[in-house]
Copies of this chain bind each other. A is one copy, B any other.
């Protein structure tokens, strides 16, 4: 990591070293308040996904605002949050391999931990691990609705639920039903239709399990692109959005329906123009290692006349043919294409309010992929 921090508290935003990850606290607070207000109108649990922020300070604020716990995507990521005092974590992933399962089982002795299964071969090793550790764990069966992980709705699902139910230290806690591809379908009606279909699968899966005499108390899932549709279905009891606190370019590109919640961009990559090689081109110091381009290029915030064209490791090429006054040393704010892997590039998040650095938050779970 860098031997120095990009900022110190009290510093004006103009003095922050670049490239750096800047959180607009006012926008972040408004996003949180909008979610709280929205939740207060329905009877749903919020379990925000911490893979988006990897930052204990943000998890603490989400819990203080009413979240029941957080989601993590990896065992080591969850361990960072348990170390930071978070007491209720659902790992929304399958966990395979004896070393990882032993870590997971030990973690379940320090916090309430949930995990997913979608195959019988995952259940016995999980049961062995928690038995060896003398702990217990919540188990959610992942139902395949988005074409990634998950089991189909049928007899295999019931056998899997029965298998979990037969292990004393595994608590059959419900279903994970998350439609990943629906999050970024651009058309609002297409997103809604995908979740209606996912809801039908969830309802059928829940019914099958309950008809077999097994418990299935909770359906959990949903993301920033669709969570109000999961509410509308009446099937989900818990929602897992992560990006709503930040809003990246990719989510903002979704066309929204009139009643959809509208979150603001709160997370930015601050960058400096370091070369001005031709009238139409400015080169900034934020490239691939400062803003993940897996979901497309970042956009330049509040400067629609500038276009971020392409990135190499530590360079970004900006088309400034419509803004010839852009000069060496000018500072720009980028809205990342995809916030989750962008956050994962940084060791610190610089929390700014009214143009002044208020705090610097360690992104403690950055790189925790094990």
Partner of A288, one of B6, B103, B118, B294: B294
Partner of A289, one of B103, B312, B341: B341
Interface residues of A (CB under 8 A from B): 1-4, 6, 15, 17-20, 51, 73-74, 76, 79-80, 83, 93-97, 99-100, 103, 118-119, 121-122, 144, 148-151, 180, 272-278, 283, 285-286, 288-290, 292-294, 311-315, 317, 327-329, 338, 340-341, 344-347, 364-370
Task: Evaluate contact between B1 and A312: CB separation under 8 angstroms.
Answer: no
Partner of A83, one of B3, B276, B315, B364: B3
How many identical subunits does the complex contain?
A: 2
Chain B residues, CB < 8 A from A368 = 1-3
| Complex Cα spacing A312 to B131, Å | 32
Assess A17 versus B347: contact at CB under 8 Å? Given A4-B76, A277-B150, A315-B148. no
Chain B residues, CB < 8 A from A94 = 274-275, 283
Task: Evaluate contact between B6 and A148: CB separation under 8 angstroms.
Answer: no
Assess A1 versus B367: contact at CB under 8 Å? Given A294-B294, A341-B289. yes
Measured CB to CB, the nearest residue on chain B to A93 is B314
Select the residue from A288, A313, A366 with max chain B CB neighbours within 10 A.
A313
Task: Evaluate contact between A277 and B148: CB separation under 8 angstroms.
Answer: yes
Secondary structure of the A contact surface, majority rule: loop
Task: Evaluate contact between A283 and B149: CB separation under 8 angstroms.
Answer: yes
Chain B residues, CB < 8 A from A344 = 289, 345
Assess A289 versus B4: contact at CB under 8 Å? Given A96-B329, A328-B96, A328-B119. no
Task: Evaluate contact between A151 and B277: CB separation under 8 angstroms.
Answer: yes
Task: Evaluate contact between A283 and B148: CB separation under 8 angstroms.
Answer: yes
Chain B residues, CB < 8 A from A99 = 15, 17
Chain B residues, CB < 8 A from A15 = 99
Distance in angstroms from A348 CB to nearest chain B CB is 9
- Extra pairs beyond A4-B76, A148-B277 (12, CB < 8 Å): A2-B79, A2-B370, A4-B103, A4-B370, A74-B314, A93-B314, A95-B274, A121-B327, A148-B315, A151-B277, A289-B369, A313-B341
Assess A17 versus B100: contact at CB under 8 Å? Given A73-B313, A180-B312, A346-B367. yes
Measured CB to CB, the nearest residue on chain B to A328 is B121
| Complex Cα spacing A15 to B102, Å | 13
Chain B residues, CB < 8 A from A1 = 364-368
Measured CB to CB, the nearest residue on chain B to A344 is B289
Chain B residues, CB < 8 A from A95 = 274
Chain B residues, CB < 8 A from A340 = 288-289, 313
Task: Evaluate contact between B272 and A17: CB separation under 8 angstroms.
Answer: no
Assess A314 versus B366: contact at CB under 8 Å? Given A4-B76, A328-B119. no
| Complex Cα spacing A309 to B257, Å | 31
Assess A341 versus B96: contact at CB under 8 Å? Given A4-B370, A314-B51, A314-B73. no
| Complex Cα spacing A150 to B317, Å | 13
Task: Evaluate contact between A277 and B2: CB separation under 8 angstroms.
Answer: no
Measured CB to CB, the nearest residue on chain B to A95 is B274
Chain B residues, CB < 8 A from A103 = 4
Select the residue from A3, A289, A367 with max chain B CB neighbours within 10 A.
A289
Select the residue from A94, A275, A328, A365 with max chain B CB neighbours within 10 A.
A275
Chain B residues, CB < 8 A from A328 = 96, 119, 121-122
Task: Evaluate contact between B370 and A347: CB separation under 8 angstroms.
Answer: no
Measured CB to CB, the nearest residue on chain B to A316 is B148
